[in-house]
Amino acid sequence: MTMRSNNENNNNNRKKDDDDDDDEESQVSISPLEMSERDIYPLLFVGAGRCALTTLTHFPENRQRASLVVDAFGGWLESWADRAMRLGMTHARYPITQTPFASSSMAIQSFSSRMGRNEELAYSGSDKFAPLPSTRLYAEACAMKIRSDEDGGILKSVPIVKDEVTSLRKIEANEEYPGLLKRGGGILAKTKGGKEFIAAQVVVCCAKKEAVVPEKLKAFMSKESGGNGRVKTSESINVLDPEGTLSGKRLLVVGGGMTAASVACGAVENSKVKSVTLLHRRNFKRREFDVEPEYFGAKGLRPFHNSEDFEYRAKFIDDAKGRGTINGVTWKRVRSHSVASKATATTQSKSSPPKLRVVEKAEIVSIGFDENTKQFSTTIELTDVAKRELAAKRARSIIEVDADDDFQALTMTVEEASYETPKVEHFDEIWVCCGTVVSAETDPLLSSLPKTSYFNGYPQLVETPLVWEHGPNEVSLAKEKGGCRWPKCSVFVSGRYAALHVGPVASLPLGYRTAGKEIATISTKAHKQSLRMRAENPYESGLEANASKASTSLETRSKDNALEDASKSNRRKNPRLPPVLWQKVGIIDVSKLLPSENFPRVDLQTYSHEDVGFQIKIYFILPEEIESENVKMEFLEQSFEIWAICAKAAYRVFLPKLYKTIIPERSSVKVIAKKRKIIVTMQKYDNYEWRFLKV
């Protein structure tokens, strides 16, 4: 058995007859003799996009060199570049500092300055923020970085097989394995081209996404489903129109997000289309990022990570994502094509009509297709909400015009009243860009892996305790668990499939870095453990441990009160005083815990504390012996109280206002009875040093 990962030609891959029955087990038994005839890769990456590149660069150098990448396009970022070109995306949505390289956040900016291409940078909002790179600049800068000899030329030495992984299956054998498969088995990856790869660990960096299509348009989607193929989604749209099929056509684009706006503008810029209508059932909303910046840090994700209710987490993700939003660069681009150009002195007409027409707050109420003219007969009408708003405007006689001409509402480009009654319009082709939904449960790539739970299409993964090591100026999310590992196997997941554990930013560059850091830490530790014959199987744990942790029902939870609910469910139920007394008197109603009403009560004034990374530890010594069951504590977001009820008196430490906020659910108390010592550990939200303990 070899340990190399050089080329696909070095693999002794053999096709196997595989009858995929519904009751087929998720484990395959392969003999050691058969396994010794194949290459076994320590690390296999499925996909070569931004997610895979970001995740790979977080691994140690020796593990990067031992990796194999399998991607349908056969090159780094080629799938991302292909999609950006097909959909007419001129600029990336995230700043130039959001690179896919763990050790070089300035790679694209340095390339832009060195090559004199700063004119390809665009400022989406204020020039106080980092600019957005053009998609071409982004792709070329990343390609240059990958081909360079920086960091030892690791990335260019990682082999990429041009193929598509169709299934992953856990391997178990009853005899002793040679090589890497001493503990925990491995993963068998089968590809569309008939190849088979065996890997000790697999990182999945792609996700199955299903396009959201309005019901009235589903019948016209594809020829396979009985349609005419003239209704396309983002997977089949190409604004470059290499075959010239759009020449002289009337195009309807349905959607209100970045993809819809980009393909509408791209069709105007790159093809000879006659006209483009951009239809959105709401108002176009301008926002620089997919999610609000508050979710980029620990504070905004506090309710998400504090909750163990995965239904709540799935709802949190959907609420946090701003569907149907476009950034400032795309906003200006849409307006430049939708506003009529002014006439010159030599032209006779007053103005030339724009090719792009924007229709907001309207929807398709009926649609038909004429086989003779090969056109769609589409009936468009204002939504009920838009009709009520229009009636209110007329009643008040208000004309709404934005003061800033560059960013005034797109509704100024079309008369709302023209769609107050149903209006029939004809189109040659329809593009649907209404977003996508994750569908991990129906993904054949994951169907043969051990079972897990799904919430809104997102899989529930195993969370392993994390130990973060930070430099003096580094800050990370205050998470105790992570790793994004599939239950009972050595498959790790990054990207959109990891959303239940990373948060709403899972499909963004920040989420790639968060998941990459966790996966690199946990998988490297598990890899070392799997090499020890007497060590426990690092992949044995599943979701059984989490099954008993039932949380509050989703209907009674909301994003705003999640932290408050969590703080009310302390590990130890103690009688509490009214909340109005918490800042002055105390939190615990100790009178209900003492043996008598006149039992002595003493406030301890002498204690010590230390700041240790993400924790604050408080130490104090009691005057007499104590049993752990007689220690009562309550933690709030910025205060805590502890009572130690001993034989002669009840001793208290009460801090009504701490220097900063803590995580109550992850704070604890340790009692060392023999030494009469109590240690209070409070979990911080970041690793910034506390200057004081209380204020």
Give a yes or no: residue 295 inside a domain. no
Q: What angle do CA 80, 81, 83 make, to 5 degrees?
A: 65
The top-scoring range by mean pLDDT among 13-27, 420-434, 603-617 is 420-434
Domain span holding position 505: 8-207+438-547
Same domain membership, residue 613 and residue 540: no
Same domain membership, residue 605 and residue 461: no
What distance in Å separates the CA atoms of residue 236 and residue 238, rounded to the nearest whole number?
Answer: 7
Report, as an integer, the average pLDDT of 654-671: 88
pLDDT of 346 = 43
Same domain membership, residue 594 and residue 623: yes
Tokens representing 187 are 């993963």
What pLDDT band is residue 417 in, cutting at 50, 70 and 90? low
Are the C-beta atoms of residues 426 and 372 closer than 8 Å to each other?
no
pLDDT of 553 = 37
pLDDT of 661 = 86
Instruction: Tell me the H-state helices in 363-508.
Output: 384-396, 499-502
Give the β-pairing of 640-645 and 631-635.
antiparallel
Are the C-beta atoms of residues 133 and 124 closer than 8 Å to each other?
no
Between the alpha carbon of residue 677 and those of residues 317, 598, 628, 644, 672, the distances in Å are 43, 25, 10, 11, 5
pLDDT of 191 = 94
Same domain membership, residue 528 and residue 504: yes
Give the β-pairing of 491-493 and 196-204.
parallel
Same domain membership, residue 536 and residue 515: yes
pLDDT digits (tens, 9 = 90+) for 385-406: 888 888 877 776 544 444 444 4
Query: Does residue 594 come out as left (phi exceeding 0), alpha (psi in the -120 to 50 range) or beta?
Result: beta
Task: At 594, give phi and psi (nearest 5°).
Answer: -80, 155
Domain count along the chain: 3
Give the domain-ending residue among 432, 467, 502.
432
Between the alpha carbon of residue 684 and those of residues 149, 464, 466, 681, the distances in Å are 40, 19, 15, 10
Which has the closest alpha carbon to 89: 276, 313, 264?
Answer: 264
What pLDDT band is residue 542 in, cutting at 50, 70 and 90? low
Give a yes or no: residue 85 inside a domain. yes
Which has the closest alpha carbon to 48: 66, 82, 85, 73?
Answer: 73
Same domain membership, residue 240 and residue 224: yes
Distance of CA 251 to the CA centre of its chain: 32
Query: Does residue 457 come out as left (phi exceeding 0), alpha (psi in the -120 to 50 range) or beta?
Result: left
Tokens representing 603 are 């406030």
Give a yes or no: residue 193 inside a domain. yes
pLDDT of 397 = 54
Same domain membership, residue 527 and residue 664: no
pLDDT of 228 = 60
CATH assignment of the domain containing 576: 2.60.40.790
Are the C-beta atoms of residues 213 and 221 closer than 8 Å to each other?
yes
Same domain membership, residue 579 and residue 526: no
Q: What is the radius of gyration, based on Cα positions, of the chain?
A: 30
Query: Does residue 324 come out as left (phi exceeding 0), alpha (psi in the -120 to 50 range) or beta?
Result: left
Torsion of CA 43, 44, 49, 54, to 10 degrees: -10
Tokens representing 563 are 């932290």
Tally: H helices and E strands in the chain: 16, 36
User: Residues with Cβ < 8 Å from 265, sequence gap 6 or more?
Assistant: 88, 330, 333, 334, 337, 356
Give a yes or no: residue 346 inside a domain. no
pLDDT digits (tens, 9 = 90+) for 75-131: 999 999 999 999 999 999 989 988 999 888 888 999 999 999 999 999 876 666 789
Give a yes or no: residue 558 inside a domain. no
CATH assignment of the domain containing 412: 3.50.50.60
pLDDT digits (tens, 9 = 90+) for 340-357: 544 444 444 455 678 899
Which residue is associated with the tokens 């600019």?
131
Compare 253 and 220 and report the one with higher pLDDT: 253
Same domain membership, residue 449 and residue 415: no
Percent of the chain residues past pLDDT 90, beyond the cut: 38
What distance in Å separates the CA atoms of residue 453 and residue 459, rounded to the nearest whole number?
Answer: 6
Same domain membership, residue 88 and residue 31: yes
Which residue is associated with the tokens 């079309």?
414
What distance in Å separates the CA atoms of residue 365 and residue 620, rounded to the nearest whole number?
Answer: 71
Give a yes or no: residue 298 inside a domain. no
One-letter amino acid at 7 equals: N
Same domain membership, residue 120 and residue 53: yes
pLDDT of 479 = 59
Tokens representing 472 are 């003096």
Same domain membership, residue 372 and residue 230: yes
Give a yes or no: residue 579 inside a domain. yes
What distance in Å separates the CA atoms of residue 300 and residue 304, rounded to the nearest whole number?
Answer: 8
Give a yes or no: residue 98 inside a domain. yes
Which residue pairs, CB below 8 angstroms and at least 24 apart, start in 373-378?
373/426, 374/230, 374/428, 375/250, 375/426, 375/427, 375/428, 376/220, 376/230, 376/252, 376/426, 376/427, 376/428, 376/430, 377/424, 377/426, 378/252, 378/424, 378/425, 378/426, 378/427, 378/430
Compare 175 and 502 and report the one with higher pLDDT: 502
How many CB atoms sit inside 10 A of residue 627's CB? 12
Are the C-beta atoms of residues 70 and 163 closer than 8 Å to each other?
yes
pLDDT digits (tens, 9 = 90+) for 456-504: 999 999 887 765 544 444 444 445 677 789 998 999 999 999 999 999 9
pLDDT of 686 = 72
pLDDT digits (tens, 9 = 90+) for 278-292: 999 988 888 888 888
229 has pLDDT over 80: no
User: Residues with Cβ < 8 Å from 319, sequence gap 6 or more?
Assistant: 559
Compare 326 and 479 and report the one with higher pLDDT: 326
21 has pLDDT over 60: no
Which residue is associated with the tokens 């301890």?
604
pLDDT of 333 = 92
324 has pLDDT over 50: yes
